[in-house]
């Protein structure tokens, strides 16, 4: 991975460092519309691929000038600030592209499939 693609940005007084999904997926050609982020501990969360693109998502590995600590999702976590926080999968180890959406770990147990905070989509049926 090219280190120079790493970006730093601040949000709500904290500074994160990571690689955007646009950079990571730069050379990927796909007609898949969905993605499943997979984490250690068998946690998964599903998102539309378009929500990971266009400067909306990063794989973050540093926080406030330090390596991302395990309790904050380190060594690497997905960061998708425009959706509810459970979509920002901690301890991420892979992203699987899918043609059809499948609910992830919490989505299959009552959490909303998309999770737009502006529409207060926390639980299924919201």
Q: Which residues bind another protein (CB under 8 A)?
A: 40-43, 69-72, 85-86, 90-91, 105-106, 109-111, 122-124, 126
Residue linked to tokens 């509810």: 84
Report, in Å, the least distance between residue 110 CB and another protein: 4
Nearer to another protein, 71 or 100 (CB): 71
Nearer to another protein, 9 or 91 (CB): 91
Report, in Å, the least distance between residue 46 CB and another protein: 14
Across the strands, what pairs with 19? 59
Residues 6+ apart with CB under 8 A from 45: 36, 37, 78, 86, 87, 89, 104, 105, 106, 107
Nearer to another protein, 52 or 73 (CB): 73
Report, in Å, the least distance between residue 62 CB and another protein: 16
Report, in Å, the least distance between residue 58 CB and another protein: 15
Nearer to another protein, 20 or 45 (CB): 45
Handedness of CA 21, 77, 80, 110 (dihedral sign): positive
3-state SS assignment for residue 90: coil
Residue 15 per-residue DSSP state: E
Cβ neighbours of 77 (radius 10 Å): 22
């Amino acid at each position: 991975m090219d280190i120079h693609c790493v970006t730093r940005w601040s949000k709500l007084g904290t500074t994160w460092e990571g690689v955007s999904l646009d950079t990571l997926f730069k050379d990927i050609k796909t007609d898949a519309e969905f993605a499943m982020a997979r984490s250690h501990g068998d946690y998964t969360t599903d998102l539309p691929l378009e929500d990971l693109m266009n400067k909306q998502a990063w794989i973050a590995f540093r926080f406030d000038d330090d390596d991302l600590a395990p309790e904050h999702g380190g060594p690497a976590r997905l960061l998708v600030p425009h959706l509810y926080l459970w979509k920002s999968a901690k301890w991420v180890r892979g992203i699987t592209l899918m043609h059809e959406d499948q609910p992830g770990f919490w989505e299959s147990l009552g959490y909303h499939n998309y999770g737009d905070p502006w529409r207060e989509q926390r639980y299924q049926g919201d």
